[in-house]
Amino acid sequence: MKNLKDSLYTALMGEFEAKKNKAIYHMNLAFQKPVAVGEHPKIVDDCIILVKEIAEADEAIEALKNYFGDMND
């Protein structure tokens, strides 16, 4: 059984990874299947938001590792 510290770290890391993966999926969809996006007049604005979400998730993951270690080691 994991201790609470490990469980919290795993939950936080999972949250940030999930947000990053979701944004990457939507970016890939926009790039690879533009017909799936349809007539979407705000596609550029939406992609800017997605890139920022990816960057924020990466930053949060790195901060978690830098300040609290990498619990996968």
Reported as a pLDDT band with limits 50, 70 and 90, residue 44 is confident
Residue-wise pLDDT for 58-72, tens only, equals 999 999 999 998 876
Residue 1's pLDDT is: 54
Residue-wise pLDDT for 25-41, tens only, equals 999 988 887 666 666 67
- Element spanning 69, H or E: none
Residue whose entry in the numeric block shows the structure tokens 């996006």: 37
Residue whose entry in the numeric block shows the structure tokens 């992609």: 47
Give the C-alpha separation, 42 to 60, whole Å: 27
Residues 18-23, mean pLDDT to the nearest whole number: 98
Residue whose entry in the numeric block shows the structure tokens 């990874």: 17
Structure tokens at 51: 């890139």
Structure tokens at 37: 């996006």
